[in-house]
Structure 1
Amino acid sequence: MKYISHEDGILAFSETNKPVLKSHEVLVKVAAIGVNRADCMQRQGKYPAPKDDSQILGLECAGIVCDIGGKVDKIWLNKRVFALCAGGAYSEYVAVDAKQLMELPDDVSMREGAAISEVYLTAFGALFELGKLQAGQTALIHAGASGVGGAAIQMAKSAGATVVITAGSDEKCAHAKALGADHAINYKTTDFVEYMKANNLTANTIVDPVSGSYLNKNAAVAAMDCQIVMLAFLDGRFAEVDFARLLQKRISFHASTLRNRSIEFKRALRDDFVARFYSDIASKSYNFNLYKVLPWSQASEAHAILERNENAGKVVLSVE
């Protein structure tokens, strides 16, 4: 099969054998691939794949099941699906754990399906499983125009929460508003702490891929018993922390990644997400937030878009 290699940080087509299926896996003929910052970091040698996962890039895809392992229900054969992948999505075929599959509704395109799994499951886990967000509460979502940000905005609004986001341009703030954000703050022109205090806003749940200097600022706008969920550290690895503020507000701080979670964790997360939000996916209640779709021959440009922080929404590669 054809796949995209990343030797020495350069993306190029190469050839390899199709994956050999384990008994609990299916083989998906890939139609579209979701592009994530983790792919860029892996290409740069900064985020190596866990040793038992595929070393090929790609953490999510949409496609058609063309073969199944011995313990997989035959009902999945020839189904249109979208799913998380344990690597390997930048290829014509990828092996996927059958219990992480989600059937792609007829009205949802392959390109849209490829933009769902990683960001919606990440946002769902951050907002609800770790963040404990409830109706009537307020969520603060940093990088609100990102793929995860767009998913988080829409699910938080579905849950009856008030949504505050930060983003790096007026255009990205407008994009987040169009997805349902109640307040959108351009952090380059407005301090989000001052804005939230001026508008009498405190956050019950904070989703933060920025970290660094944001930790104390998050604490300043946190409500009592706030849950802060750190997904990355775009502002840097280190920060001085005012522990008195954390104690005063009984703030809980979570550091969360999805890629290196156990297969059991990912299956449970998938099941919880499907039980609560799959109907909204199937009815296309959400904007799947596609920024740009490129042929997979242009994977290098897709990575460059993310590295320039250009995108408002998801970048997807089409294999069709």
Structure 2
Amino acid sequence: MHAIVIDEPGGPEALVWREVPDPRPGPGEVLIDVVASAVNRADLLQRQGFYPPPSGAPPYPGLECSGVVAEVGADVEGFRPGDRVCALLAGGGYAQRVAVPWQQVMRVPEGVDPVEAAGLPEVACTVWSNVFMTARLRRGETLLVHGGASGIGTFAVQLAKAFGSHVVVTAGSAERIARCLELGADEGVNYREEDFSEKVRADVILDIIGGKYLARNVRALKTGGRLVVIGMQGGTKGELDLGMLLVKRASVHGTTLRSRPVDEKGVIVRGVVGDVWPLFDAGALRPVVHARVPMSEAAEAHRIVESGEHVGKVLLLT
């Protein structure tokens, strides 16, 4: 098969489409003929040498894919060759084939284009596990989503609205805020022009920025609020006002998804299939795709994501 190989960390040009050995499914694994993958910020970090794959994961980038089951290993439950699926991966999505634990594989939701399904596993599992499992967002509460026009942001907006929450986003332009409002967001804050902590009071904050926003995030929390940090685009360190945290009886959570054990990912995946996938059939959710790029031209896809001007997901087609 062919896959995207990174010989030396660097810029987008470090991504090389090359013939590599075919994977084989081990016990408990499903082998998928990949139709498409999608670009995530973690892929950019891996390309730059800052985010190596976990032990045992394929060396190629790619945290999600869609395709068709080609083969199943021993002790696989619920899947057989020919099934149309999408999967949450620890790596290896930028390839024509990938082997993945069956617990991380999902059938493509009803009514969703099999190619567009490639951009769903990472965002769906990230939003479900963080906003609903960890932060316990409830109907009627306010969710603040930083980077509302990103892949995670556009999915969080839709899912929170489907569960009856008030949604506020931050974004860097009026055009990107407008796109978020079209998806169901109730309010938008242009972070280039306004301080969100002076305008917003939220029960739950989903944050991809990290250190740079820590103090303001705590300030923006309501009493009993929950901050979930899932990214560090604004650095790894920030000042935490413990006095304010105590007075608000608030909490700060830091989480990752890629390095979790298979069983933990399986719990998240089952929640997504049971509680999120039916919303596609009901018309409450839809994939948001900015661009489709041939996988052999992954460098161009990375340039699009690095520009920060995309809305939703950038897909890679085999």
**Contact 1:61-1:84 at 8 Å conserved across structures:** yes
Q: Specify which of 128, 146, 149 is matched with residue 145 of structure 1.
A: 149
Aligned partner of 2:226 in structure 1 is 227
Shift of 1:290: 0.4
Aligned partner of 2:253: which letter?
H
1:244 and 2:249 matched: no
- Summarize deviations over 1:114-144 as a string: whole Å, max 9, x none: 0100011101111111111000111011011
**Contact 2:30-2:72 at 8 Å conserved across structures:** yes
Aligned partner of 2:6 in structure 1 is 6
Q: Specify which of 68, 71, 82 is matched with residue 64 of structure 1.
A: 68
Shift of 1:177: 0.6
| TM-score (norm. length: structure 2) | 0.96
**Contact 2:111-2:280 at 8 Å conserved across structures:** no
3-state SS in 1 of match to 2:50: coil
Task: Name whichever of 283-292 and 184-193 sits farther off.
Answer: 283-292
**CA distance in structure 2 between the aligned counterparts of 1:284 and 1:63, rounded to whole angstroms:** 23
Aligned partner of 1:116: which letter?
L
1:102 and 2:106 matched: yes
- Summarize deviations over 1:253-280 as a string: whole Å, max 9, x none: 1101100011011000011121211111
Shift of 1:281: 2.6
- Summarize deviations over 1:136-193 as a string: whole Å, max 9, x none: 1110110111101111111111111100110111111011111110001111012212
1:205 and 2:209 matched: no
**CA distance in structure 2 between the aligned counterparts of 1:78 and 1:94, rounded to whole angstroms:** 15
Specify every segment of 5 or more residues in structure 1 that has no aligned partner in the other structure, as ranges. 197-201
Specify every segment of 5 or more residues in structure 2 that has no aligned partner in the other structure, as ranges. none
Q: Specify which of 161, 164, 170 is matched with residue 166 of structure 1.
A: 170
Q: Map 1:27-176 to 2 at 5 A.
A: 27-73=31-77, 75-105=79-109, 107-176=111-180
Aligned partner of 1:199 in structure 2 is none
**CA distance in structure 1 between the aligned counterparts of 2:301 and 2:97, rounded to whole angstroms:** 20
**CA distance in structure 1 between the aligned counterparts of 2:299 and 2:114, rounded to whole angstroms:** 21
Aligned partner of 2:2: which letter?
K
**Contact 1:140-1:206 at 8 Å conserved across structures:** yes
1:315 and 2:314 matched: yes
Aligned partner of 2:292 in structure 1 is 293
Q: Specify which of 25, 47, 52 is matched with residue 21 of structure 1.
A: 25
Aligned partner of 1:216 in structure 2 is 215
CA RMSD of aligned residues (A): 1.3
Task: Name whichever of 2-11 and 250-259 sits farther off.
Answer: 2-11
**Contact 2:162-2:284 at 8 Å conserved across structures:** no
Shift of 1:295: 1.0
| TM-score (norm. length: structure 1) | 0.95
- Summarize deviations over 1:50-107 as a string: whole Å, max 9, x none: 1211111111000000111021247422000011012111111100111221111453
3-state SS in 2 of match to 1:46: coil
Aligned partner of 1:239: which letter?
G
Shift of 1:284: 4.5
Aligned partner of 2:257 in structure 1 is 258
**CA distance in structure 2 between the aligned counterparts of 1:175 and 1:274, rounded to whole angstroms:** 27
3-state SS in 2 of match to 1:213: helix
How many residues matched?
314
**Contact 1:111-1:293 at 8 Å conserved across structures:** no
Task: Name whichever of 60-69 and 212-221 sits farther off.
Answer: 212-221
**Contact 1:68-1:74 at 8 Å conserved across structures:** no
Relative to structure 1, the CA distance from residue 281 to residue 51 in structure 2 (aligned partners, 3 Å threshold; closer, same or farther) is: same
**Contact 1:172-1:312 at 8 Å conserved across structures:** yes
Shift of 1:39: 0.6
**CA distance in structure 2 between the aligned counterparts of 1:180 and 1:143, rounded to whole angstroms:** 15
Aligned partner of 2:3: which letter?
Y
